[in-house]
Chains A and B, each alone.
Chain A
Amino acid sequence: MKLSILVYGSPNGSQAAATAYRFTKAALEKGHEIYRVFFYGDGVYAASALNTPPQDEQDLSSLWRELGEQHNLDMVVCIAAALKRGVLDPGEAKRFEKSAHNLSAGFTLSGLGQMMDASQQSDRMITFGY
């Protein structure tokens, strides 16, 4: 079945990113297709390459990046939610004349249209709230 995942919670302030990660992994192991993972609101913090959690904590940014690479996942980050939280790709950093960019490999900045598209194209859309 074609599934999409919607993540609303930050890796630090909520369990959403962790639960969504486990769910996505379980769905892939069962042979389902993940059409898209969409990060919205504080969920965008998972896409920052600069997150550096202590060694005894789960590094969800790296876990998502690795899962995305392994399965070629379409991991889309809401651009408006990302920019206001300081998660930028090289193009946006240049456009807003910022000194650095930090969007983790495997993630793409895009609009809410991608979330609508996911809900239309997928058999199921599962939301992981903050």
Chain B
Amino acid sequence: MILHTVNKSPHTSNCLQSCLRTLSDQDALLLIEDGVYAADNHYANQTEALGEEITLYVLKADVDARGLQNRLSSRFQVIDDAAFVDLCVQYPKTQSWY
């Protein structure tokens, strides 16, 4: 059970690709900073193809800052900073991709 965070846009970096290759069932993926662009429903086919056992989150402050509120894939849950802290507690390990 690992919480993975990705902070780079899939258009400028292969962070997300590297992360997706290592994701296991029961892991969670949280997109932060420019990473949130991967939750855009026009580009989310890769993340939407992941199994339902993998939970997908996106950080609200970064979604709002980029105006993506109405463009998000329905697979993603939007969470605030407090919930980000909760996830780090819930998952025994956090892996940051940057």
Residues of A within 8 A of B (CB): 1, 3, 8, 15-16, 19, 22-23, 25-27, 29-30, 32, 124-130
Contacts and interface: CB of A to CB of B under 8 A. Distances in A.
Interface residues of B, number: 18
B96 A23 contact: no
Question: From DSSP, what is the main secondary structure of chain B's interface residues?
Answer: helix
Interface of B: 7, 32-34, 61-62, 80-82, 84-86, 88-89, 94, 96-98
B81 A23 contact: yes
Question: From DSSP, what is the main secondary structure of chain A's interface residues?
Answer: mixed
Contacts of A124: 88-89, 94
Nearest to A25: B81
Nearest to A6: B96
A126 B82 contact: no
A29 B33 contact: no
Given A26-B81, A124-B94, A129-B96, A3 B88 contact: yes
